[in-house]
Amino acid sequence: MTFDPLIPQLITLTQKVGEMIMSHYKQSLIIQTKADQTPLTIADQKSHDLIVQALSKLTPDTPILSEESEKIDFSTRSKWQEYWLVDPLDGTRDFIQQTGEFCICIAYIKDHQPIFGFIYAPLSQIAYFTNDQLQAFKLQENQTTLLQASAKKNPLEVVIGRHSFDNQLLQSHLEKFGEVNISHLGSALKFCKIAEGAFDYYPRFGPCSEWDTAAGSCILKAAGGCVVGEDNQPLRYNTTDSLISPPFFASGKT
């Protein structure tokens, strides 16, 4: 699979989906609660439908796993060597709370690792993506910029989610670093901002799923950073029945 020919089509697709998402932003929404107690809106569902339909046409022989897919048993998934992994609206809570910090995440997984990542932020209309040369880019107002994660700053610039700071494991972990500057940002945009050099470090101990991390970790790695688990190894995908990601640590240049 080569991805460079798909990038223009994914840009067009996510811009279209982003316009749909923004048409529901700051509107009166019916909010459902899924079995895992996470919220679901019509924007999540419509985004899922549009992305799955488009990817099915672009790569008809490749399976697709989306956050809003019907449950696909591991007995089926375990046979997949390659597949698309999609979060059609990452940061639904931020979408509902109108922080603007939400995005579309599309990753391609091969042999349990993401080999392509694409993230689009509908509010800012910025796209982040990798290419076949394992480079990472930011596209804003028709200007494409190569992304390079920066060396760690002093004090360390830490970014965490808006709903994370009461996590005791996170607080204990951050105490090891002494003085740090902490910023809050929703969704997988945290990976992108580290890839841009705006932040240094994103530790995550709270619940998170594989579609939340795949695209962002691929983009950050291509920009010179890394995302590892507590074993200091890259995260692996689709290895068990559970799609919950383990605790992880995303860093800029080490």
Higher pLDDT pick, 35 / 117:
117
What is the chain's mean pLDDT, rounded? 96
pLDDT attached to residue 166: 73
Mean pLDDT of 227-238: 97
Confidence of residue 207 (pLDDT cuts 50, 70, 90): confident
Provide the residue ranges of all domains of the chain, joining segments of one domain with +.
4-146, 156-251
The whole-number pLDDT of residue 165 equals: 65
Q: What band does 251 get if pLDDT is binned at 50, 70 and 90? A: very high
Q: Are the folds of 4-146 and 156-251 the same?
A: no
* Helix (H), strand (E) at residue 210: helix 210-222
Q: Which residues contact 222 (CB under 8 A, 6 or more apart)?
A: 117, 130, 131, 134, 135, 136, 147, 195
Q: pLDDT tens digits, residue range 133-180?
A: 999 999 999 999 999 999 999 999 999 998 776 788 999 999 999 999
Interval 60-95: pLDDT, tens: 999 999 999 999 999 999 999 999 999 999 999 999
Amino acid at 145: T
- State which fold the 4-146 domain adopts: Fructose-1,6-Bisphosphatase; Chain A, domain 1 (3.30.540)
d(CA 225, CA 151): 9
CB proximity list for 193: less than 8 A, separation 6 or greater? 159, 185, 199
Mean pLDDT, residues 119-141 taken together: 98
Task: Tell how far CA 25 is from the center of its chain.
Answer: 20
Q: What is the pLDDT of residue 37?
A: 86
Instruction: Please give the residue that has the higher pLDDT: either 143 or 254.
Output: 143
Instruction: Return the CATH architecture of domain 156-251.
Output: 3-Layer(aba) Sandwich (3.40)
Per-residue pLDDT reduced to its tens digit, 7-39: 999 999 999 999 999 999 999 889 999 988 889
DSSP-derived 3-state class of residue 64? strand
pLDDT for residue 55: 98
% of residues, the chain, pLDDT over 70: 99
Joined together, the tokens standing for residue 165 give: 């700071």
